[in-house]
Amino acid sequence: MARMRAIDAAVIVMEKEGVTCAFGVPGAAINPLYSAMRPRNSIRHVLARHVEGASHMAEGYTRAKAGNIGVCIGTSGPAGTDMITGLYSALADSIPILCITGQAPRARLYKEDFQAVDIESISKPVTKWSVTVREPGLVPRVFQQAFHIMRSGRPGPVLVDLPFDVQMGEIEFDPDTYEPLPVHKPAATRGQIEKALEMLNGADRPLIIAGGGIINADASKLLVEFAEVTGVPVIPTLMGWGTIPDDHPLMVGMVGLQTSHRYGNATFLASDFALGIGNRWANRHTGSVETYTKGRTFVHVDIEPTQIGRVFNPDLGIASDAGAALKLFVEVAKEWKADGKLKDRGAWVEECRERKRTLLRRTHFDNMPIKPQRAYEEMNKAFGKDTCYVSTIGLSQIAAAQFLHVYKPRHWINCGQAGPLGWTMPAALGVRVADPEREIVAISGDYDFQFMMEELAVGAQFNLPYIHILVNNSYLGLIRQSQRGFQMDYCVQLSFDNVNAPELRGYGVDHVAVVQGLGCKALRVTDPNEIHGAILKAKKLMEEFRVPVVVEIILERETNIAMGTELDNITEFEDLAQSAADAPTAIALLD
C-alpha cells in the first residue's frame, strides 16, 4: 500500500467521490489541504472573498445539477464560524455540501490557542454530521463517511475539522481499492402506494403538493407523468417550483402566505385531498395548520421518517425517496387507468384553470418610479424558458415567486427556510461554476445585494458571467411591511444623500459605481419602458466581457407585495388584473 500524508488521502477520496471543484479561502491551519490539491490539479478552486460566500457558492453549485456536492474550505477559528450560516441554509433546505476547516494541532486544543475554536460543537446543530478528526489514520474513512451521510436519506451538509498535525500525519492508504459507500434511501412499497392512490382516487377535488424532495431525487419527469396519468392538478411548493412547467395545464399555482398566487390559494382552499411528495409543510406555505388542514385528507411521502407528523399528522404517511415513490405511483396509476379504475378529473382541472385565468394580480403599471410588478413582467418578456433564477429572502423573492414563470427543475434556486441575506450573489456564482452555459438571472433587493457584494470580484476574476437584477427601493422592504402591525417605520431606511451621486436623490449607495469598482458592469433604469432594453444590453455586455452584469431598477420607495396571515386572509395592496392587458405574461401561460 502507498504511504502518504493523511491530507493527500483526503484529496484522493474527494476525487473518487466525484469532487471537481471547491470554493474557499486558504489560511495557515488549512494550508496542508491546499498543498495536497495543488500538484494534482484535479479539483478546481474558486477563491471567495468571504468564507460565508464560499459556503453559499457551494450550495449553489450543488443545487445546479443532480449529483453535485459543493465543497467549501476555510482555515481555523472565524473561517468555520463564518460558514455556519451556509451550513444552516444547506441543512434547512436538504442540500449536501461538504465544509472542511483547518484546526490548531491537537496538543493546543482547549488551551486558548490563536483561532482555535470548538467548531465541531458549534456546527452540530446545523449539520447532519460534524467531526474533528483526532487521528491521521481516520482521515480517509471520515471523508468516505461524510459523503455517505450527505447522500443518504434526507440530504444535508457535513463539516470535517482537521487539526494541522492530523493533516500532516503519515498513513497507509490504497487509492486503487477505494470505493464510495452505497447510498441508503428508503423506498415505498407497492402496498403503500396502492393505499395512497386509493385515497386520492376516492377524493373529488384532489391535489398533488410537489416539494423540493422531487428535485433532489431528480424525479420531476415522473411527477409530471403521474399527474398526467391521473389527471390530478399540481401545486408546487417554493422549493419544488419547476418540477412541473408553469404553462402545463395541470400546474395550478403556488400556495402560501407570501410566495403564492391568488389562484393557487383559491384552488387549495377548494380542494378536499392533498398528496404531498418530498415537501415539509413549511409555514410560509401552510399558514396555520387549522386553516390548511380543515376539510382535507392528507397523504405525506417524505424521505425522512421523522418529518412525517412533525407539522401535522397526515391520514397516511410513507417514508420514501420521492423518486422511488413516484416510480411506483406511475406504475400503479397506469395499471388502474388501463383497467378503467381512475376517476375522470376534467371538470376539476377546468375549474382550477378558470381560477388561473381570472384570479390574477396586475403587473402592467406605467408608474414612475417603477412598480416592482412591472419589473418582473419585463423580466418574463426578456428571459426565456431556459432561464435559471436565483434568489433568497425579501420582497424581491416574494414578488419573483408571485410574478415570474419557471419551466424546468433546478431553474428556480432559492434559499427557502433559512433565508440569509447575501445568499443570492455567491449562490449564483456557484451555479455558474457548475454550469458554464445556463442563462442565470439573480434577483436581489438592495439590502441583500449589499450584504455580500464583494463576491462580484470573484465573478470578475474567474470570468463567471450572469445577470443580476437589483430592485432598489432603498428600504428593508419586507421588514418595513411587517412593522405596520406595530405602527412604525423604524430603522429600516437605507436612504441617504450620496454626495458622489446626487442623481440618486436619496437612494443612497451608488451600486453602479460599486459594481464597476469590483470589475463588473452595471446599468441603472428609472423608466419602466426602458427595462427591456436594459436587459438586452446587459446580455450583450455579459457576452462581451464575461463578467457579472448588474441591472439596477429604481423602484418606488413604498413597494407593497401581497401577503397575509392565512391562506384565506391575504391583503392585496395593489389593483388586481381586470383584463389580459393588466397581466400579459401570466395570461400567456394559458395559451
Last residue of a domain, one of 329, 358, 387: 358
Let me know if residue 576 belongs to a domain.
no
Hey, what amino acid is at 406? V
Q: Are residues 392 and 530 in the same domain?
A: yes
If DSSP codes are grouped into helix, strand and coil, which group holds residue 299?
A: strand
Query: Is the model's pLDDT at 303 over the cut of 80?
Result: yes
Rounded to the nearest integer, the mean pLDDT of the chain is 94
Could you give the angle at the alpha carbon of 99 between the alpha carbons of 304 and 47, nearest 5°? 135
Residue 339 per-residue DSSP state: T
Give the distance, in angstroms, between the CA of residue 74 and the centroid of all CA atoms in the same chain.
23
β-pairing, 549-554 vs 563-566, is unpaired
The pLDDT assigned to 505 comes to 79
Q: What CATH number is associated with residue 275?
A: 3.40.50.1220
Could you give the angle at the alpha carbon of 408 between the alpha carbons of 157 and 249, nearest 5°? 130
Closest listed residue to residue 158, CA positions, set 189, 188, 186, 131 = 131
Q: Are residues 327 and 443 in the same domain?
A: no
The pLDDT assigned to 490 comes to 77
Query: Is the model's pLDDT at 506 over the cut of 80?
Result: no
How many angstroms separate the CA atoms of 148 and 313, rounded? Answer: 30
Residues 158-202: pLDDT tens digits?
999 999 999 999 999 999 999 999 999 999 999 999 999 999 999
Let me know if residue 425 belongs to a domain.
yes
Binned at pLDDT 50, 70 and 90, residue 74 comes out as: very high
Last residue of a domain, one of 154, 177, 200: 177
Q: Are residues 200 and 148 in the same domain?
A: no
Q: Are residues 7 and 115 in the same domain?
A: yes
Q: Are residues 335 and 384 in the same domain?
A: no
Residues that are catalytic:
25, 51, 421, 476, 479
Binned at pLDDT 50, 70 and 90, residue 81 comes out as: very high
Let me know if residue 339 belongs to a domain.
yes
Q: Are residues 337 and 408 in the same domain?
A: no
Last residue of a domain, one of 328, 358, 388: 358
Q: Are residues 133 and 71 in the same domain?
A: yes
Q: Are residues 18 and 96 in the same domain?
A: yes
How many angstroms separate the CA atoms of 509 and 498, rounded? Answer: 7
| Domain extent for 394 | 372-561
Residues 283-289: what's their mean pLDDT? 93
**Which range, of 138-147, 272-281, 471-480, 510-519, averages the lowest pLDDT?**
471-480
How many angstroms separate the CA atoms of 64 and 195, rounded? Answer: 35
Number of structural domains the chain divides into: 3
β-pairing, 388-391 vs 521-525, is unpaired
E strand or H helix that includes residue 474: none
Residue percentage of the chain with pLDDT more than 70? 100
Q: Are residues 475 and 501 in the same domain?
A: yes
**Which range, of 105-109, 130-134, 308-312, 360-364, averages the lowest pLDDT?**
105-109
Q: What CATH number is associated with residue 430?
A: 3.40.50.970
β-pairing, 388-391 vs 316-319, is unpaired
Query: Is the model's pLDDT at 475 over the cut of 80?
Result: no
Residues 121-147: pLDDT tens digits?
999 999 999 999 999 999 999 999 999
Query: Is the model's pLDDT at 115 over the cut of 80?
Result: no
Let me know if residue 255 belongs to a domain.
yes
The pLDDT assigned to 202 comes to 95
Binned at pLDDT 50, 70 and 90, residue 425 comes out as: very high
Closest listed residue to residue 63, CA positions, set 241, 182, 195 = 241
C-beta contacts of 294-300 below 8 A and 24+ residues apart = 296/271, 296/272, 297/199, 297/203, 297/272, 297/273, 298/273, 298/274, 299/196, 299/199, 299/200, 299/273, 299/274, 299/275, 300/276
How many angstroms separate the CA atoms of 325 and 346, rounded? Answer: 25
How many angstroms separate the CA atoms of 4 and 26, rounded? Answer: 22
The string of DSSP codes covering 151-173 is HSSS---EEEEEEHHHHH-EEEE
Residues 323-346: pLDDT tens digits?
999 999 999 999 999 999 999 999
Could you give the angle at the alpha carbon of 203 between the alpha carbons of 197 and 205, nearest 5°? 120
Residues 46-66: what's their mean pLDDT? 96
Could you give the angle at the alpha carbon of 8 between the alpha carbons of 6 and 9, nearest 5°? 65
The model's pTM is: 0.95
Q: Are residues 100 and 168 in the same domain?
A: yes
Which cell goes with 351? 375549474
The pLDDT assigned to 436 comes to 95
What is the SS3 string spanning 478-537?
A: HHHHHHHHHCCCCCCECCCCCCCCHHHCCCCCCHHHHHHHCCCEEEEECCHHHHHHHHHH
Let me know if residue 572 belongs to a domain.
no
Burial class (CB in 10 A: 0-12, 13-18, 19+), 40: exposed
Binned at pLDDT 50, 70 and 90, residue 218 comes out as: very high
Let me know if residue 589 belongs to a domain.
no
Residue 242 per-residue DSSP state: T
How many angstroms separate the CA atoms of 293 and 274, rounded? Answer: 9
Could you tell me if 167 and 6 are in contact, meaning their C-beta atoms sit under 8 angstroms apart?
A: yes
How many angstroms separate the CA atoms of 59 and 71, rounded? Answer: 8
Q: Are residues 23 and 169 in the same domain?
A: yes
Let me know if residue 182 belongs to a domain.
no
Residue percentage of the chain with pLDDT more than 90? 86
The pLDDT assigned to 379 comes to 96
Residues 253-281: what's their mean pLDDT? 96
Q: Are residues 120 and 261 in the same domain?
A: no
Let me know if residue 308 belongs to a domain.
yes
